[in-house]
Chain A
């Protein structure tokens, strides 16, 4: 009996499985009982089984070892204790995510057309014009259904009081969904008996849903779909190959594609050129088309923007959608929901301060030691200041950066991310985690059942990125009613 929930240290924060009084949360009883019933040997055997499954299934992620020295593939870090969410709560979250993404897509479409949102004074146009991801080249283009961000990955966190917040919306090329799918496969191999105890909603329809979403972007009856990857050296290459295979789509690099004088996109095959109708692109905007963006890019396809503007090929996600994937725009999302949908936001934002507005900036500068300051256009945790953990000198330096370019920063109070029991050696300890669900938008919306739970494996750490020692858990949406 190695797991004793009585001695589990809930640290006074919100734990996803165990309450402050060391009892299992609603729905988690069976799981806690099964885990506590495992001997040391059995726990080790399950852990080993998970590692073996990951190795034999070839689930890897790529770590950069530095400029010039290339990169290495590591096996995906996985914790065998699943994270549970009740279906009832999830339905609410799911509705909130759909609402957000719909409002954001309306916003992007507006930005590239009439810009009514500025005229109505919801937010000042300067934000957009100075946004790093605003692409004037996209003005006037009308993607089907008015949808620009077809695949969105939003990061959710739960604070100490149990409230779920949206931390950010990744509207450009979010990754991680393949790990969500693989985690479930591993879990089925390692804890088959748990799947008898619970009604767990399956996740494996995602590739089919994604394929349907991509198909809906073309008016061809059975369109040729390709996944455009930067290549094997990209950290998400595993996922690109995985999704292409699961969708029976073609995995291509930029050099496999060409835009003809007819402004159609073709791929080079041994049978000659084959026309491409939909491109699920996993490379950033600026590398898409050297004729329009970065002229040095060899990852993209010359003329691709031409073909897209002419309506000859669908791009998912659409170029320019990153304009809404900006941490300062984020602070306006509740307003955008009210403005475009005439609804109240279902999911709250983390309270945020815009450094561009003087009174809020002053508050941020006075309280740097309590706040997390984020640059508008970075992802993966780069360029952030975590006030409570930073040195006085770092805070001073950051204050100067904020003053030099206030548009580029926003700040939030430091959240006490919720924890979940995580297997460390042969016992469980609480570790902080977040959750990234994926939202598809095409002819209709779809939200994954759960998403990818990422865990900070180091004690006390809130850094969940796999490149920085983060792990992951299978995420169960559990239905108690059925």
Chain B
């Protein structure tokens, strides 16, 4: 029996997060693209919510003037400047897997490589709508193959626990963000239009691949209360917040020194169990809290298990030792980039939600930076 190093545990955890993030992002963009084509052109619905979900609005606003389909999809899919972009997530997953050889089954390592090569090739610019939609449908197939192989073949040891922990924490975070945007009443002006009344919640369900399950499980026309209850509380839906948190707890239970992290998850689960809000404003605040709690949980896990590994300085090029590293500094220490990406997102979450809506409807107005400042002073 060997020990589990902090460094490899950390990489397994981030591998889990990045793979999950890649899959969610692919599904999110692909579902929303299809939905938007259903809407009449005069509807004010834009692509902005997708940027909000990933929590990197500031970065987006810095480089793009408007949230057009072209800009937003590019930002979310293959813009290297967006730390959470699909391609970045896949590249970070690959960098983590490279350092886990001998721990992750070799075949799974190859699958991650294939995913990377596929994504790099099929998502390169210029990206036509046709190619984009085909590729985005394929990405989850790749990630599912990796996770399936690992689940069936890898030793279910500490590294596996950390990998799953990464999966579920990322999933809880992503689910809460997608619901968050669904709650934002961006179609307020047009909901009376009969055929479009439920489109927003349908989009949320599809983004979480939960529409079919909803029909089986709920047997009620799509409406806010029922969808919210289903996505937050359902114990059988793998992408519900309750399910992700329960799995997170189970993952932690298998690990040593878990008291602090377990306390945080259980507190969050109790908070979720007591949820009975109906006002969009309150729901959004609740979801903001969930995301902040998840960020705290992430910090707690890092402190307990990875603290010493995190302190490492990036490996330098030393030619005598024949070390050569990719020039990209993010690749030199991929786990860190992920943490940066997440804290950006968490900071973004702390801004007052009402202001966020304002900024969303009138993106040309430069209100974002001041609200970000306010958000910071609040925390």
Q: Which among A70, A244, A268 has the highest number of chain B CB atoms within 10 Å?
A: A268
Contacts of A298 in B (CB 8 A): 312-316
Contacts of A235 in B (CB 8 A): 322
Name the residue of chain A whose CB is nearest to the CB of B158: A270
Chain B contributes a number of interface residues (CB within 8 A of A) equal to 37
Name the residue of chain A whose CB is nearest to the CB of B106: A58
| B327 CB → nearest A CB, Å | 5
- Asked whether A287 lies within 8 Å of B257 as measured between CB atoms, the reply is no
Partner of B308, one of A230, A244, A258, A297: A258
Binds B, one of A98-106, A249-257, A346-354, A437-445: A249-257
Task: From known contacts A269-B6, A270-B4, infer whether A296 and B309 are also in contact, taking CB-CB under 8 Å.
Answer: no
- Asked whether A67 lies within 8 Å of B324 as measured between CB atoms, the reply is yes
B9 at the interface (CB under 8 A from A): yes
| A301 CB → nearest B CB, Å | 11
Contacts of A69 in B (CB 8 A): 324
- Asked whether A255 lies within 8 Å of B312 as measured between CB atoms, the reply is yes
A-B contact count (CB 8 A): 99
- Bound: A231/B98 CA distance, A: 10
Partner of A70, one of B5, B308, B324: B324
- Asked whether A271 lies within 8 Å of B256 as measured between CB atoms, the reply is yes
Interface residues of A in 256-297 (CB under 8 A from B): 256, 258, 267-272, 274, 283-284, 286-287, 294, 296-297
B274 at the interface (CB under 8 A from A): no
- Bound: A58/B315 CA distance, A: 26
- Bound: A58/B255 CA distance, A: 31
- Asked whether B315 lies within 8 Å of A274 as measured between CB atoms, the reply is no
Query: Per-position contact with A for B307-333: 1 when CB-CB < 8 Å, else 0?
Result: 011001111111111111111000000
Q: Which among B2, B316, B325, B327 has the highest number of chain A CB atoms within 10 Å?
A: B2
Contacts of B318 in A (CB 8 A): 287, 294, 296-297, 299
| A171 CB → nearest B CB, Å | 18
Name the residue of chain A whose CB is nearest to the CB of B319: A67
Contacts of B1 in A (CB 8 A): 248
- Asked whether A250 lies within 8 Å of B3 as measured between CB atoms, the reply is yes
- Bound: A255/B310 CA distance, A: 10
Query: Per-position contact with A for B119-156: 1 when CB-CB < 8 Å, else 0?
Result: 00000000000000000000000000000000000000
A426 at the interface (CB under 8 A from B): no
- Bound: A232/B334 CA distance, A: 14
Name the residue of chain A whose CB is nearest to the CB of B7: A256
Contacts of B320 in A (CB 8 A): 284, 286
Task: From known contacts A70-B326, A255-B309, infer whether A272 and B321 are also in contact, taking CB-CB under 8 Å.
Answer: no
Contacts of B315 in A (CB 8 A): 231, 298-299
B215 at the interface (CB under 8 A from A): no
Interface magnitude class on chain A: 35 or more
Q: Which among A64, A252, A272 has the highest number of chain B CB atoms within 10 Å?
A: A272
A241 at the interface (CB under 8 A from B): yes
- Asked whether B321 lies within 8 Å of A252 as measured between CB atoms, the reply is no
B92 at the interface (CB under 8 A from A): no
| A279 CB → nearest B CB, Å | 14
Contacts of A232 in B (CB 8 A): 98-99, 101
A245 at the interface (CB under 8 A from B): yes
- Bound: A371/B367 CA distance, A: 78
Q: Is the interface of B mostly helix, strand, loop or mixed?
A: loop
Contacts of A231 in B (CB 8 A): 99, 315, 323
| B189 CB → nearest A CB, Å | 52
Partner of B257, one of A272, A284, A296: A272
Contacts of A230 in B (CB 8 A): 321, 323
B221 at the interface (CB under 8 A from A): no
Partner of A241, one of B5, B101, B321: B101
A192 at the interface (CB under 8 A from B): no
- Bound: A349/B4 CA distance, A: 46
Interface residues of B in 1-28 (CB under 8 A from A): 1-7, 9
- Asked whether A71 lies within 8 Å of B324 as measured between CB atoms, the reply is yes
- Asked whether B6 lies within 8 Å of A268 as measured between CB atoms, the reply is yes
Query: Per-position contact with B for A230-241: 1 when CB-CB < 8 Å, else 0?
Result: 111111010001
- Asked whether A256 lies within 8 Å of B6 as measured between CB atoms, the reply is yes
Interface residues of A in 409-436 (CB under 8 A from B): none
B195 at the interface (CB under 8 A from A): no
Partner of B255, one of A67, A268, A270, A284: A270
Partner of B2, one of A250, A258, A296: A250
B102 at the interface (CB under 8 A from A): yes
Contacts of A253 in B (CB 8 A): 7
Contacts of A255 in B (CB 8 A): 7, 309, 312-313
Contacts of B230 in A (CB 8 A): none
| B234 CB → nearest A CB, Å | 32
Contacts of B9 in A (CB 8 A): 270
Contacts of A71 in B (CB 8 A): 324
Contacts of B3 in A (CB 8 A): 250, 267, 269-271, 274
A12 at the interface (CB under 8 A from B): no
Task: From known contacts A270-B305, A296-B316, A299-B318, infer whether A233 and B6 are also in contact, taking CB-CB under 8 Å.
Answer: no
Contacts of A121 in B (CB 8 A): none
A136 at the interface (CB under 8 A from B): no
Partner of A234, one of B6, B101, B309, B322: B322
Interface residues of A in 203-237 (CB under 8 A from B): 230-235, 237
Name the residue of chain B whose CB is nearest to the CB of A273: B308
| B157 CB → nearest A CB, Å | 11
- Bound: A297/B317 CA distance, A: 9
Interface residues of A in 317-341 (CB under 8 A from B): none
Partner of B102, one of A70, A241, A274, A296: A241
| B282 CB → nearest A CB, Å | 38
Contacts of B321 in A (CB 8 A): 230, 234, 283-284, 287, 299
Interface residues of B in 42-57 (CB under 8 A from A): none
A68 at the interface (CB under 8 A from B): yes
- Asked whether B5 lies within 8 Å of A268 as measured between CB atoms, the reply is yes
Contacts of B255 in A (CB 8 A): 270
| A18 CB → nearest B CB, Å | 38
| B131 CB → nearest A CB, Å | 28
Name the residue of chain B whose CB is nearest to the CB of A297: B318
| A65 CB → nearest B CB, Å | 8
28 intermolecular pairs with C-beta atoms under 8 Å apart: A64-B322, A70-B326, A71-B324, A230-B323, A231-B99, A231-B315, A232-B101, A233-B325, A235-B322, A241-B102, A244-B102, A249-B2, A255-B309, A267-B3, A268-B6, A268-B309, A269-B3, A269-B6, A270-B3, A270-B4, A270-B6, A270-B304, A270-B305, A274-B3, A287-B318, A297-B318, A298-B315, A299-B315
Beyond A287-B321, A298-B314, 4 extra complex contacts between A and B, CB < 8 Å: A68-B327, A230-B323, A232-B101, A296-B316
* B contact residues vs A (CB 8 Å cutoff): 1-7, 9, 98-99, 101-102, 106, 158, 255-257, 304-305, 308-309, 312-327
* A contact residues vs B (CB 8 Å cutoff): 58, 64, 67-71, 230-235, 237, 241, 244-245, 248-253, 255-256, 258, 267-272, 274, 283-284, 286-287, 294, 296-299
Closest 3 CB pairs of A and B: A255-B312, A268-B308, A268-B6
